[in-house]
Amino acid sequence: MQKRFFRLGAFAALMLLAGLAACQKVEDLLRFKISNETSFTVPSAIGLNAPVLLPTPDVTTNASQTFKNNNTDVNKVKDIRLESLVLSITGPANATFAPVKAVRLYISAPGVEEKLLASKENIPTDVGSTLSLDVTGEKMDAYVKRESFQVRTEVVTRQAVFQDTHVTAKMTFGVTADL
């Protein structure tokens, strides 16, 4: 009789583990990432220690197609948050972020209030040509669900920049959606 209860308990534990694994698998199917990219130029001879706004082209999301590729649609998206934003200097070849004291990127879309997307303050002078920003963790659904959004870049420099510096911003958003 004791063996029977042991077997029954072991079977129940196995079923519970299998059920938890299945739930995790379904949850994984409901999460995916969207990657977007934009570029901007930090012009030479900008002012020191004062924020400078830099023009950035609209970011096309292809959101509808991305949702479709992940077996969902815009109406089933529950949550979109920025997971990472990495700036990389694409030119000139020897440029670094050393002259930059702070950088802030803001996101906006028609009819939606502008919001801080990511930033980095007190950037060390020994930083190279790649810089990971601190993300806000806020919901970005209202922006990323659209076919495009705008990113505004604000830069504060600590020293003069003598050449135009070309920068690419790579954004990765985490999406949670229903099937």
Residue 161 lies in a domain: yes
pTM for the model stands at 0.80
Residue 16 lies in a domain: no
CA distance 115 to 155: 16
CATH number, domain containing residue 44: 2.60.120
CA distance 128 to 110: 35
Digit-coded pLDDT (tens) for 33-92? 999 999 989 888 776 777 787 878 889 888 888 888 888 888 889 999 999 999 999 999
Number of folded domains that form the chain: 1
Report how far apart the first and last C-alpha atoms of the chain are (Å, whole number). 45
Residue 79 lies in a domain: yes
pLDDT higher for 49 or 31? 31
Residue 25 lies in a domain: no
Residue 2 lies in a domain: no
Which of 6-20, 57-71, 86-100, 156-170 shows the lowest mean pLDDT across its residues?
6-20
Residue 6 lies in a domain: no
CA distance 130 to 146: 28
Residue 102 lies in a domain: yes
pLDDT value at residue 9 = 55
Digit-coded pLDDT (tens) for 105-154? 999 999 999 999 999 999 999 999 999 999 999 999 999 988 889 999 99
CA distance 9 to 101: 61
Residue 138 lies in a domain: yes
